[in-house]
Amino acid sequence: MKTITSPDELAAFCTAAAQHPYVTVDTEFLRERTYYSKLCLIQLAYPGGDESAVLVDPLAEGMDLEPLYTLFRDTSVVKVFHAARQDLEIFWVAAGLFPTPLFDTQVAAMVCGFGEQVGYETLVRKICKQSLDKTSRFTDWSRRPLSDAQKTYALADVTHLRQIYEFLQAELARSKRTAWVEEELQILTHPDTYQVDPAEAWQRIKTRTNSPRFLGIVRELAAFRESYAQTNDVPRSRVYKDDALIELASTKPRSMQDLGRSRLLLREARKGVIADGILAAVERGVNMAQDDLPKPDRSRDKLQVNPALADLLRVLLKAKSEASDVAPRLIAPAAELDAIAAGQRDVPSLKGWRRDVFGADALRLCDGDIALGAKGDSVRIVDLKG
């Protein structure tokens, strides 16, 4: 098991990898104590034997990952990941780039009928007919030296990935669904996917009240927390947790003494920069002009859902899902079916490949152009316009 610890070694490997049609990639990282992931290990492999799979130690003294980034920019080599989102975020934050072109075997597996968010271990078992030893999964990847068990575990995440990629690529070509995967990957390779605007962080907070003034304070508290966490590279929960944020928005502390009465606020947040930030955020929310307060999202409240039509859409989705061998939720989540039944048309399930699989017939069903009938265990579409 070769471990690369110098830029020259990395450059040599990447030069060799560039002669092949694809390279498989995985990372190991830590995020429990930081806002951004701490990259601890990179695994790479190109087609071939044991010599074509390596570990790259980004923590090694003098290591420079630019040779890897050059490979990532090489459009003649497909970069293959499994469940790439967190890996992509690491490289976007560190280098401002996305590996191009990209192939995500989790996305491809969903399109090929392996179910929703299928795990790597499942694909190894079903495609490679092998099992994985996952005992090293939750070890501390920042500690050196790495054990042989850790190295073996890490390499397995890219060696089996070669066979999985080749299988799925062939299956996509056979079923003519390569474009489906490419459409899904556009979201993964868009910078907005990985950028959290502090001003919008409040929308992640679950509240039980829609009072604009309360939401205004929540927005200011969430914005301060997000900015502080990003600037100081600490998890949001280390600043204050969501339940403490809701408590602060309810009690509206105006002084350090008021903060001291909080039941849920961490001790470190009752003093210093965080305490000052909390009080300033609360003050901004309390004094915010009425027109500047956030407006509750009542779009769902206004939906006039036709329940019978929504039920028919669910039946249609199940039939289409079984016919295409694609997980129903990948095509259209339940909320979208209700939206369609309420007359909304700007939803993902009515666009792109989803429209071909389900959306076009969903619209025909809504317009009364088709009906659904049962024949044995299957559902059939009856054309009413014929």
pLDDT for position 296: 74
pLDDT for position 300: 55
pLDDT for position 301: 56
pLDDT for position 295: 84
User: Domains in the chain, ordered, with CATH?
Assistant: 2-194 (3.30.420.10), 198-292 (1.10.150.80), 300-383 (1.10.150)
pLDDT for position 117: 83
To the question of pTM greater than 0.75 for the whole model, the response is: yes
CA distance 148 to 136: 10
- Across the chain, which has 386 residues, the per-10-residue mean pLDDT values are 96 98 98 96 94 96 98 98 97 97 96 90 96 86 95 96 98 95 93 94 92 97 98 97 97 96 94 97 97 78 82 95 90 94 94 96 95 87 84
